[in-house]
Structure 1
Amino acid sequence: MRLPEELGERFAVVAELPVQGAESDLLLVRDGGGRELVMKVFRRGYHADRDVWAKLPSLGSPHVVRILETGSAGGRDYEVSEYAEHGNLRTLMDGPLDAGTVGEVVGQLAEGIKALHDAGIVHRDLKPENILVTAREPVATAITDFGLSRVLEQSVVFASSSRTLAYAAPESLSGQVSPARDWWSLGMIVREMATGRPPFLGLSETAVVDHLATRPMPVDDVADPRLRLLVRGLLTRDPRRRWSYAQVSAWLGGESPEVVEDAAAASGAVPGGPGAAPGGAGLPFDGRRFTDRRELARALVERWDRAAVYLFGRGESGEAWRALRDWLAEIPDDSRIELVDRYLTSPDLTADAKLLHLVRWLDPDLPPHYLGRRVLPEDLPGLAALASEPGHPDHRTACLLGKSLWDERLLGVLAGFEGAHELARVDDQWRRHVAAWNELGRWLRSQDALPLSAKARLPETGAAETPVAGQVPPDEPPVVLLTLLALAARPAETASALKRAVARRYGEDVPWFAWLVDGAADDDPLRLLAVVRTQPEAAAEAQARLRDRRTEEIRAEEIRRHWDERERLRLEKRDASVRRAVGWSLPILAFWLAGSWVIAQLSGGGTKLGPSGWFVMLGVVAVLAWAVQCAAEVFVARAQGGEYLPHGPWALLSRALSASGRGMNKVGQVMRGTPGKRSFVPFALVFGVMFALLLIALAAATPAGGLLWMLVMPAAAVAHAVAAGIRLHRWRTARAPADPTRGPADPTSGPADPTSGPADPAGGPETHGPLFDGRTP
């Protein structure tokens, strides 16, 4: 795991601790001074109780782990605490512990729990993994991990039902929070230390819930009688009668405080069948008979799943329903008639919705609950985080809860509980957000700039029917729906979280995402949600583009390497090419001089200069003409290096000579520079014959052959130089596409901008999009 950037600059991750929580990651880190510490980084959607953070530093108990630092980084809360190198209590429990060791641990944990409760903090998740061993001889322990802790302003409240089930008190199944929960957990820990066996080993979660809700914990397997008494007192099902610090202190002092147990609960059965309610007045449920409507309401909340099926699972034909109706008829409250006729017998309501109406009627002063979970505005944002984590144990419940609140419009019902009137406003705002989101989603999905993978992450939500497959992506699990609920319940906090979650850096490589981010104003949370939803696709596309660029860079580097090697070899042959250019030009000089001598002999006899003077004059012109031709070839040879001969003027002549017949093949080999016998005899023979024919023609054609020859040589030299320039230009043009330093495009450039085209993907000015809060998105 990588730490948020601001933490990564101060701490180095050493390892992930083997014990991880459902709400957080636990890491062993090292600070700048080399000190090893434990860092707890909450997962997105989970936040520590700030009141707990404020109280922890002042506890000062040696049996509560000292929290060194708390804060938020990268949108995630974190805690930094001391590191216990001896591990947690689980490392000591490889078998039953002796009574003396158990007593020492109980005394230390009792002091730690008392320090927390005196500060108004309920831990809510005590278990061996959350008890660190700070010393082994003698054993010393300290309580840690306050991620689920709550500060209470009253003795009992209802909150999230998050807990470690095996060590959870029965009342925690409904989310009830009181200090008694921690003493039950201590009792389960003591029982495990005394027996050497974890509670509920091998049982499923459903079986554990059923056991906690219906039966007491057996203590007969605790061999030591003193420890058995302690476990019985701590595992009393009724939290009002459960042992607390006073009784545990008395037990540690050698006393034997009284254990008060409910007889029916202790037995788990009464005459009439397993778990049946005793006879008499009241409504039978869960092994008891209820006469007080408020007590019944709390019992129904604690056993919600069982209560919904028990009372309404078989409709009006069920015996439990008839018993409930008869019991309601005895209550002197005329509003029961509307309750029964409008809600409890309605065929349009589910069993859970009927139970909700019943609980609200029984005790409207309760905090609002549904499916056994508390539902207050501050609880709603966490549902989106649970819905986005399929592996979380509460994932399915969060999805069912969110869909039920939407489909059955239950927030308005929950608003009827005491102190929950704000839920009605939340429901209205939620539905406005859903309508605006669906309109925004339809518009965004119509934009050609967005790829199909991004459009699939912008689903229609809140629809009564499943969207048509292939046309509109489904919101399943309902992450968008629950995010919009969080936005309605806590707009400022949710919008701030969306802003922090936007990674704008992908816009550099993904043009459609850059367009989406640029259009998302900071005060438009729905557009920010669209950005966050499509961000994974942008990240994947950015990674793909990065891989493509790296592949192209590697390919371009390989081309450059081959090109550089080719250029090195070509330039190494530059001097040899210059020598060849001079050598191949010498026959031209010989040709001009020989021709000048012949012309001088044929035309100079009748002049004042005579043949010798004409030859000198023609010879000077011949040398100058050859110098121009030789310089042109040398210039081309220096530029072309090792590629000079294959592109030289001799290639054309050699091909012509080679085509003239098999006897001239050797001449072609020599003139092309190809392997073979290098002889100048064929070359001299051919040019000698051509030269003789030309001179005869000149002498026969005009008496001014010398002047004509004098003009031919410079003209030929100029033509040669021009031809050399044309050859050099063609050579450079032919090799330009292969030159990586002169290519038509940068090999590191990415794909073309998908938003370029005849129209702006946003449709021009912001006048074509759907309205949201008076603005176009």
Structure 2
Amino acid sequence: MADFQETRRDPGVTGRDPGVPGPRPGETRRDQPGRPGGPLMRLPAGLAEHFELVAELPVQGAESDLLLVRDALGAEHVVKVFRRGYNADREVWAKLPGLESPNVVRILETGHADGRDYEVTAYAPDGNLRGLMAGPLPAEAVTRIVGQLSAGLAALHRVGIVHRDLKPENVLIMSADPLQVAITDFGLSKVLDQSVVFASSSRTLAYAAPESLSGQVSPARDWWSLGMIVRELLTGRPPFMGLSETAVVDHLATRPVPADEVPDPRFRLLCQGLLTRDPRRRWTDSEVTEWLNGGAPPVAPEAAHPMAPEGAGLPFNGQRYTERAELARALIEKWDYAALYFFGRGESGEAWRTLREWLSEFDDSRIGLIDGYLTTGLAPDVKLLHLVRWLDPTLPPHFLGRRVTSEDLPGLAALAKDPSHSDHRAACLLGRELWDQHLLQVLSGFEGGRDLTRIDEQWRSHVASWNRLAGWLREHESTPPRLASRLPDAGSVTDERIAGRAAAVADDPPVVLLTLLALAAWPAETRRSLADAAERARAAVPEQVPWFTWLVEGAGDDPLRLLAVVRAAPEAVVDAEARARGRHAAQQEAQALRARWDEKERARLAGRGVAVARAVAWSLPLLAFWLLGSWIVGAVFGGDGDGGTKSVGGVQQSSGVPFAVLAVLSLIAWAVQCGSEVVLARAQGRDYLPYGPWSWMSRLLGVGGRGLSKASQTLSGAAQRTGRRGCGLLLLAGTVPLLIILLLLAAVTPVASLLWLMVLLAAPVAHAVAAGVRLHRWRQALEGERQKALQDGVERR
């Protein structure tokens, strides 16, 4: 113990405390395999009594050696032994044990032995933060690390300790899941009695603040180091990689460290705040805490924009540019010219070589720009976009010389719909490039473009959903095939199609694609616009179209289905107009048929006079028949008025009905029959003869279809010119036997007059009934003929 001097242990955390590992009576040690063998160093006197030396840790520093030790309980610790000539700050040692921060490694024991200072701390088997930095870390992990390191620095600064050497190697991973880090290695730390002191500079220049070059020590120095760590965590590239120490010192002394390579705008804001050159205006715990809570604290502007080194500058468009921001604005103003000027001829162009030489004078961030974008196969416009973002990411996002913020995106759809607008072609080109090249992700790297990443993800989700919906609608049995031209697939026409889907036409101009972009950028406003447009589309369809009605009823408030309704409305209008034209043509055809039928009816009714004359003429033989019969009956059987009897042919007969009475009854019977035929003739007009009472005679004589004049000629004997027999002989042949039969009946029947009266009464009644039946059948036939004529006309159309 003679060599053990100035040993000091924290009474709450040394081995004498029951809660802290230390020597225990009766405990055995447990060796762990896999440790490096044979350490080259020995433990300082006093520590060897209760710690076993396990191995030397490969992480060594210029001022100390690290030893892995194990206590009697098997718990492992790290002993940091300072090299001779390096002494720890005793004030820091005095204040560290009192810290109650989980983000600052606790020093379990400190002391001086064998002429060297030492510290005993907990062992972190997961290593330090450098082990996680093989590439960019996810934003969630970086946010967690920032919060913990910020809390650790705030705890140190509250007790007046400035770390002075914060770097990934001095951040231990206390737990990998969940991620828990803590600040360690306080060999260069100092306790400040005032806000700023001057001391020797840190040996780790890559993470050193600019003021450290002059020996200034303040808490702001640690916040700068935190900013450099965050920048490396997000980019995966150490600061000042490939630069000599002299170049690093020159950079720190003359210009800011840019945060341009940080892709996320919120993290870029954090880096800009922590990497402010003026330590008085640099972010500290309060601003970082506000940022962690979602705020956006202001960043103090630099005294001047980043400048290129002294020289002639970069020639472009008749001017020379040395200031990056000024060149960026000039490139945006002359976008088309700049893209062809610098990148139109590839790497063989003189303008590109001049640009590359100019870029070579800047810091190492140009390497990622040149190798990652400018020397690749990207289109000239895309290369120019990456160049502008590198030159001045504080500008609003621009592409093709146009501002592309979330407020500007919805207007592209309106321009794409209007081919007459002067910006129509530019809007279509811009929309396709944003989609095909995934440029919204790139544009999100500009200030004011942080929400473009979310918009791009939502846009691509909308496009995938629309393409599924459009393909389903194109194949649906309810929709007409021509609707496919109204429901194109959005996005690139080379996208893979689902097997079996109906082929879709190209979305050219990309109205659907840019409408979906507007929906992603302004969801609520675009949804309302689509709902209003769908309502106008419904109103524009003048009548119900079955497939369009089905589409409208299934739309609901789904913006994609509403868009389908708007796109399909013109086809529905065409269908409705075609239906209206068809109905109009059918109506006109029906009207023409009705007109022809009415004309035919007028011609038929115009023959009423002739038909009535024919009816009277055809019924005159009946009058003759009745009068002749009545005369015979009256002459033979009629009485003389004295009520006696008389002898006819030797036969005594009683007196009968006088001829005068029978003649009157005959006239009445004929009047009934003639009246029935006249009523029928007035109803039938020209159709009277084919349906007349003598139609059977007309057919028998072969004159049924040629009218009453032909029949009259036949009756009058004029038919003798045709060689046919007239119907007069037939009447005579029928009448004579009838009269003979009546005379015979009268001769043998005392009531012959009464029988004749019955005939005079029954025959007209039967004739009237028959005429009514004929009229009914004719009307049925006429209606059938009318229906057939109209139906045949519709079928011919």
Superposition TM-score, scaled by structure 1 size: 0.51
Q: Partners of 1:675 and 1:385 in 2: how far apart?
A: 90
* Partner in structure 2 of residue 364 of structure 1: 393
SS in 1 for 2:531: helix
Q: Partners of 1:340 and 1:669 in 2: how far apart?
A: 118
* Partner in structure 2 of residue 731 of structure 1: 778
* Partner in structure 2 of residue 581 of structure 1: 615
Contact residue 407 and residue 464 of structure 1 kept, 8 A: no
Q: Partners of 1:357 and 1:319 in 2: how far apart?
A: 20
* Partner in structure 2 of residue 542 of structure 1: 576
Letter in 1 for 2:389: R
* Partner in structure 1 of residue 413 of structure 2: 384
Residue 484 in 1 paired to residue 516 in 2? yes
Q: Partners of 1:570 and 1:363 in 2: how far apart?
A: 97
SS in 1 for 2:320: strand
Contact residue 736 and residue 743 of structure 1 kept, 8 A: no
CA 291–608 in structure 1, closer or farther in 2 if over 3 Å, else same: farther
* Partner in structure 2 of residue 496 of structure 1: 528
Letter in 2 for 1:285: F
Letter in 1 for 2:515: T
Structure 2 regions of 5+ residues with no counterpart?
1-309, 639-647
CA 487–720 in structure 1, closer or farther in 2 if over 3 Å, else same: farther
CA 717–511 in structure 1, closer or farther in 2 if over 3 Å, else same: farther
Alignment of 1:208-247 (within 5 A): none
Letter in 2 for 1:369: H
Contact residue 506 and residue 538 of structure 1 kept, 8 A: no
CA 684–617 in structure 1, closer or farther in 2 if over 3 Å, else same: farther
Contact residue 581 and residue 633 of structure 1 kept, 8 A: yes
Q: Partners of 2:691 and 2:417 in 1: how far apart?
A: 69
Q: Partners of 1:446 and 1:608 in 2: how far apart?
A: 105
**How far did residue 370 of structure 1 move?**
1.0
**How far did residue 642 of structure 1 move?**
4.8
Q: Partners of 1:566 and 1:476 in 2: how far apart?
A: 59
Letter in 2 for 1:529: L
Letter in 2 for 1:731: W
Letter in 1 for 2:558: D
Task: Report 1 or 2 for greater relative contact order, CA contacts < 8 Å, sequence distance ≥ 6.
Answer: 1
Residue 418 in 1 paired to residue 478 in 2? no
Contact residue 365 and residue 418 of structure 1 kept, 8 A: yes
- Residues 171-204 of structure 1 show CA distances to partners (whole Å, capped at 9, x for unaligned) of xxxxxxxxxxxxxxxxxxxxxxxxxxxxxxxxxx
CA 568–356 in structure 1, closer or farther in 2 if over 3 Å, else same: same
- Residues 372-408 of structure 1 show CA distances to partners (whole Å, capped at 9, x for unaligned) of 1111222222222222233433222221111111111
**How far did residue 472 of structure 1 move?**
1.9
* Partner in structure 2 of residue 337 of structure 1: 367
* Partner in structure 1 of residue 247 of structure 2: none
- Residues 406-457 of structure 1 show CA distances to partners (whole Å, capped at 9, x for unaligned) of 1111112112211122222222222222122112212221233332333321
Contact residue 654 and residue 669 of structure 1 kept, 8 A: no
* Partner in structure 2 of residue 313 of structure 1: 344
Structure 1 regions of 5+ residues with no counterpart?
1-278, 752-777
Contact residue 622 and residue 713 of structure 1 kept, 8 A: yes
Residue 409 in 1 paired to residue 438 in 2? yes
* Partner in structure 1 of residue 78 of structure 2: none
Q: Partners of 1:467 and 1:570 in 2: how far apart?
A: 73
Contact residue 467 and residue 489 of structure 2 kept, 8 A: yes
Contact residue 578 and residue 634 of structure 1 kept, 8 A: yes
Q: Partners of 2:689 and 2:496 in 1: how far apart?
A: 73
Contact residue 510 and residue 541 of structure 1 kept, 8 A: no
* Partner in structure 1 of residue 734 of structure 2: 690
Contact residue 520 and residue 528 of structure 1 kept, 8 A: no
* Partner in structure 2 of residue 653 of structure 1: 697
The one of 318, 321, 330 aligned to 1:299 = 330
CA 638–293 in structure 1, closer or farther in 2 if over 3 Å, else same: same
Letter in 1 for 2:509: P
Residue 528 in 1 paired to residue 562 in 2? yes
**How far did residue 318 of structure 1 move?**
3.1
**How far did residue 301 of structure 1 move?**
1.0
* Partner in structure 1 of residue 15 of structure 2: none
Alignment of 1:84-99 (within 5 A): none
* Partner in structure 2 of residue 274 of structure 1: none
CA 397–638 in structure 1, closer or farther in 2 if over 3 Å, else same: same
- Residues 79-119 of structure 1 show CA distances to partners (whole Å, capped at 9, x for unaligned) of xxxxxxxxxxxxxxxxxxxxxxxxxxxxxxxxxxxxxxxxx
Identity over aligned residues, as a percent?
A: 53
SS in 1 for 2:339: helix
Letter in 2 for 1:373: R
Contact residue 438 and residue 460 of structure 1 kept, 8 A: yes
CA 634–306 in structure 1, closer or farther in 2 if over 3 Å, else same: same
Letter in 2 for 1:630: C
Contact residue 654 and residue 668 of structure 1 kept, 8 A: no
Contact residue 548 and residue 572 of structure 2 kept, 8 A: no
**How far did residue 657 of structure 1 move?**
2.4
Contact residue 506 and residue 514 of structure 1 kept, 8 A: no
CA 431–600 in structure 1, closer or farther in 2 if over 3 Å, else same: farther
**How far did residue 355 of structure 1 move?**
1.5
CA 481–567 in structure 1, closer or farther in 2 if over 3 Å, else same: same
Residue 374 in 1 paired to residue 403 in 2? yes
Superposition TM-score, scaled by structure 2 size: 0.50
* Partner in structure 2 of residue 123 of structure 1: none
Q: Partners of 1:376 and 1:383 in 2: how far apart?
A: 11
* Partner in structure 1 of residue 120 of structure 2: none
Residue 465 in 1 paired to residue 494 in 2? yes
**How far did residue 518 of structure 1 move?**
3.3
Q: Partners of 1:471 and 1:676 in 2: how far apart?
A: 83
Deviating more after overlay: 402-411 vs 645-654: 645-654
**How far did residue 555 of structure 1 move?**
4.1
**How far did residue 306 of structure 1 move?**
1.8
Q: Partners of 1:466 and 1:419 in 2: how far apart?
A: 31
- Residues 194-220 of structure 1 show CA distances to partners (whole Å, capped at 9, x for unaligned) of xxxxxxxxxxxxxxxxxxxxxxxxxxx
The one of 619, 631, 634 aligned to 2:678 = 634
**How far did residue 508 of structure 1 move?**
4.3
Q: Partners of 1:285 and 1:447 in 2: how far apart?
A: 57
The one of 275, 280, 284 aligned to 2:315 = 284
SS in 1 for 2:315: strand
Residue 440 in 1 paired to residue 469 in 2? yes
**How far did residue 669 of structure 1 move?**
5.0
SS in 1 for 2:413: helix
SS in 2 for 1:284: strand
* Partner in structure 2 of residue 427 of structure 1: 456
CA 428–645 in structure 1, closer or farther in 2 if over 3 Å, else same: same
**How far did residue 351 of structure 1 move?**
1.9
CA 471–738 in structure 1, closer or farther in 2 if over 3 Å, else same: farther
SS in 2 for 1:379: coil
Q: Partners of 1:558 and 1:531 in 2: how far apart?
A: 39
**How far did residue 683 of structure 1 move?**
5.2
Letter in 1 for 2:443: L
SS in 2 for 1:499: helix
Q: Partners of 2:787 and 2:616 in 1: how far apart?
A: 32
Larger radius of gyration: 2
Q: Partners of 1:483 and 1:422 in 2: how far apart?
A: 18
Q: Partners of 1:371 and 1:565 in 2: how far apart?
A: 74
Letter in 2 for 1:732: R
Q: Partners of 2:565 and 2:719 in 1: how far apart?
A: 69
**How far did residue 743 of structure 1 move?**
6.7
